[in-house]
Amino acid sequence: MQSLTMNLALYFRINLRNRRKELHLTQTQLADKMGIKQPNVAAIEAGERIPTLETCERFAAALETNAMAMLTEPVKTLV
């Protein structure tokens, strides 16, 4: 079970960074859009924190996508 959780966390952080960059957003801009602080975005992207499902949904909404897309295996690696 831990392996599945770790895979989902890895997929999420890769998709988070990729989608943020696709939208030409900085970590600060994304954080402002979500009403959180930039270090929280950085920690998730770096794999230092694993977001809750609720947080995944909030990120997905801010990035104009859905949580399922954020939790699936990325097509491209971390940019």
Residue 77 has pLDDT above 70, yes or no: no
Q: pLDDT band for 4, please (50, 70, 90 cuts).
A: confident
Considering the domain boundaries, does residue 77 fall inside one? no
What's the rounded Cα separation, in Å, for the pair 17 and 24?
A: 10
- Match 């939208």 to its residue by tokens: 23
- Please give the helix or strand (H or E) that residue 14 lies within, else none: helix 2-22
Give the total number of structural domains in the chain: 1
Look up the CATH number of the domain holding residue 25: 1.10.260.40
Domain that holds residue 46: 2-71
Considering the domain boundaries, does residue 35 fall inside one? yes
Considering the domain boundaries, does residue 55 fall inside one? yes
> What percent of the chain has pLDDT above 70?
92
Buried b (16+ CB within 10 A) or exposed e, 8-28: bbebbbbbbbbbbeeeebebe
Considering the domain boundaries, does residue 78 fall inside one? no
Considering the domain boundaries, does residue 27 fall inside one? yes
- Summarised one tens digit per residue, pLDDT across range 25-43 is 999 999 999 999 999 999 9
Considering the domain boundaries, does residue 76 fall inside one? no
Considering the domain boundaries, does residue 54 fall inside one? yes
Q: What's the predicted TM-score (pTM) here? A: 0.88
What's the rounded Cα separation, in Å, for the pair 14 and 8?
A: 10
